[in-house]
Structure 1
Amino acid sequence: MLPKIKQRLFSIDITIAPYASFIDRLIEMAVSGVSSYTCVANVHMLVEAYKDSSFAEVVNGADLITPDGVPLTVALKLLNGVRQERVAGMDLLPDLLLESEKKLIPVYFYGGTKDMLIATEQYCLKKYPLLKIAGMYSPPFRPLTENETNTVLNQINESNAKFVFVALGCPKQENWMASMRGRINASMIGIGGALPVMIGTQKRAPKWMQDTGLEWLYRLMQEPRRLFKRYAVTNSVFLFLLFKAYFKPRI
């Protein structure tokens, strides 16, 4: 059982535990069939939650909040004196799929384009041949109608999926998971950009960039037009918050 120890970092409550404990707890949550959701938090999510209190409630309402980015683990050490290893979505996704294959846990993929889901199915067939993929759904680029939502909910629940991997991007996937708690009988995890990296449509940063907190820079080099504004704003806000908190007079 993963201890429910959390540390507040500006706007969100990060779950504190070893990486292996997250895997164990997520498997427990999936097998139980209890509706739950996990947020994989990085600088972007933290800043979005800082700027939007309603989104902060969504994130903090999660059963688990993992520290995805190195900047978050560094901030936890500097501000809270907590040593916490990184728990990244790009590591969680393949590890959870491997455990699901071993333990015969059905999984469902929600989000991404149809082409991405086709590539995901092909990748899983090669990498995890015994994995049971209960279903996949690529939602349209518009809000679903109530009937469409109910149809998808029924499909997921009837598939007996225990994990639902949600790839809608932040903050859409977190809002969706929160709205589905109590309605989808599975453990939902927001995997964001981990899916295209896992299946090889995007490359992951070299290990030295991962370890030094520069993975964002590698992603920026791959998608400069889409990510420049996000990183320019969110990284600046994060650094401002970090310096402000670190140099705040301690009474």
Structure 2
Amino acid sequence: MITPDFDTVNVGGIRTACVGRKELAALVGNICEGYAQRHQAAPFVIFSNNGHAISIYNADKQAREQMDQADLVHADGQSVVSFSRWFKHARAVPERTATTDMIHDIPNFYPGTLKHFLLGGKAASVSKAADILGQTYANFQVVGHQHGYFGDAEEAAICDAINAAKPDVLWVGLGKPKEQLFCIRNKSRLTVPVIISCGGCYNYITGEYPRAPMWMQNAGLEWLFRMAKDPRKLFVRYLLTNPHAIYCVLKHGLAKQG
């Protein structure tokens, strides 16, 4: 098993990697290279941390146990970067590594060609995202994709199909906490070097979900932009999870300081 060297910081109870975008992309590529060389058995699982994740982690025991089994948790939200600097930690997260950027960062910052399998989302969305990524990056080879509307009884067959395609990276976009549960539950079935949870990433690639202006992203306000675009779906979620996440960050941070 490859054990990359990176520092972590406690953000809302979640051990979050202190890595930047280029470093994370290189780490993924190096793990994929090392997998072939060492015949590594277990996939390296990467989950994301943001306000929603912090709230779920502190409210749901099962989700917390799944998150704790990740090999690396990165700062998907700008708020996590800010939270990591609230207390006198020896380390802090250097920059946001949004999953919607990471799927582009890997082919941009890692020169080698990697094979990818996209799992999750609607059939039309994941198929279109696969076409866009494959056409945009010569070193992003899509070897398969599968929509996310399947039942538990179908998981074994889906895992077999993923293994048969032999991807280097499996992207799992089923939404929190379902995607974390899928990754950990099927980790022993999958013979892929890296698994990355990616939420609604495919919809951003296709343009179905617009990204916030850069100033809002840098200010940690992308959640506000998303809520304004889809208030019926996201207003209650952010109304509940954002204050809870801040409370959890303070609780864990102050406990550590004490």
Aligned pair 1:16/2:18, yes or no? yes
Greater shift in the superposed pair: 124-133 or 222-231 = 124-133
Paired position in structure 1 for 2:156: 150
Tell me by how many angstroms 1:133 deviates: 1.2
Is the Cα contact below 8 Å between 1:2 and 1:21 reproduced in 2? no
Amino acid at match of 1:95: D
Cα distance in 2, alignment partners of residues 70 and 113 from structure 1: 27
For 1:117, the equivalent position in structure 2 comes to: 126
Amino acid at match of 1:121: A
Select between 20-29 and 211-220 the one with higher mean Cα deviation: 20-29
Alignment of 1:215-230 (within 5 A): 215-230=222-237
Is 1:109–1:166's contact at 8 Å kept on the other side of the alignment? Answer: yes
**1:67 CA displacement:** 0.9
1:162-191 residue CA offsets vs partner (Å, 9 max, x unmatched):
101111011111111111212211211011
Deviation at 1:143, TM superposition (A): 2.4
What secondary structure is seen at the aligned counterpart in 2 of 1:110?
strand
Cα distance in 1 between the residues matched to 2:251 and 2:217: 25
1:242–1:139 CA distance, 2 compared to 1 (3 A)? closer
Q: 1:183 aligns with which of 175, 178, 189?
A: 189
**RMSD between aligned residues:** 2.2
In structure 2, the residue matched to 1:126 is 135
The partner residue of 2:96 within 86, 97, 104 is 86
Structure 2 runs not aligned, ≥5 long: none
Look up the equivalent residue of 2:145 and give its one-letter code.
M
Distance in 1, Cα, partners of 2:109 & 2:75: 21
Which ranges of 4 or more aligned residues in structure 1 deviate by more than 6 Å?
A: 246-249
Q: CA 1:159 to 1:213, structure 2 compared with 1: closer, same or farther past 3 Å? A: same
CA contact (8 A) 1:39 1:174 kept: yes
Select 2:51's aligned residue among 43, 48, 53: 43
CA gap 1:98/1:158 in 2 versus in 1, 3 angstroms: farther
* Cα distance in structure 2, aligned partners of 1:156 and 1:250: 45
Residue in structure 2 matched with residue 55 of structure 1 by the alignment: 63
Aligned partner of residue 109 in structure 1, secondary structure: strand
Question: Aligned pairs, how many?
Answer: 247
TM-score by length of 1: 0.89
SS class of match (1:165): strand
Between the two proteins, what is the percent identity of the paired residues? 21
